[in-house]
Amino acid sequence: MQKQSSTPPPPVSNLEKEELAQILFDLYRESRLSYDAEAEYIFKKFTEYSASEPKLECIDKGGGEVEIHDLNGRAFDLELRDHLHHLTIARFIDLVLNNAVSARQSAAAIKRHQEHHSMKVEVFAWLNLNFDKYKSMDATAEAIAGKLVPLKFRTVRKWVKEYKDMHSAGRV
């Protein structure tokens, strides 16, 4: 058995204290960054899960009783348990809130431009039937602008070009 020394440890200088504090601060910042990355990972999984179709499994329990399980949901629950905790929740909530604002703004923009989009669909449907009847894109746009839709030549000409590009690429 060893006797403990009764001499106190040497005093730590202010410079050493500052260096130690800086090392601890750097370690904390590095761990904080990894927690933020973990929160961003689980948020990505959250958005993927929210947008996906459920992968359902039907389990016959006998006696006419059936249980339905969402396999994607089960996998997502495991991801949540592994990555969402008191150190990551603040960043996760921040991501949810920021993206909710963005989603509301996108929905508002879609609603605002809905009439414009429906006119474009109408023009594309008309082009499916009549595109080959005109010699040029300008002639096609002139036949549409102000007659089929209440839009100027320039807008319709842009849509005719877009249709032609999509048609030649095989996407229409």
114, 119, 120, 123 alpha-carbon torsion, rounded to 10°? 170
Residues 32, 66, single domain; the answer is yes
User: Please, is 9 exposed, middle or buried when counting C-beta atoms within 10 Å of its C-beta (0-12, 13-18, 19+)?
Assistant: exposed
In whole angstroms, what is the distance from residue 161 CA to residue 69 CA?
Answer: 48
Arithmetic mean of pLDDT, 34-52: 84
Q: What is the domain range of residue 63?
A: 15-112
Residues 107, 128, single domain; the answer is no
pLDDT band at 167 (very low <50, low <70, confident <90, very high): confident
Arithmetic mean of pLDDT, 11-29: 77
89 in a structural domain? yes
8 in a structural domain? no
Predicted TM-score (pTM) of the model is 0.43
5 in a structural domain? no
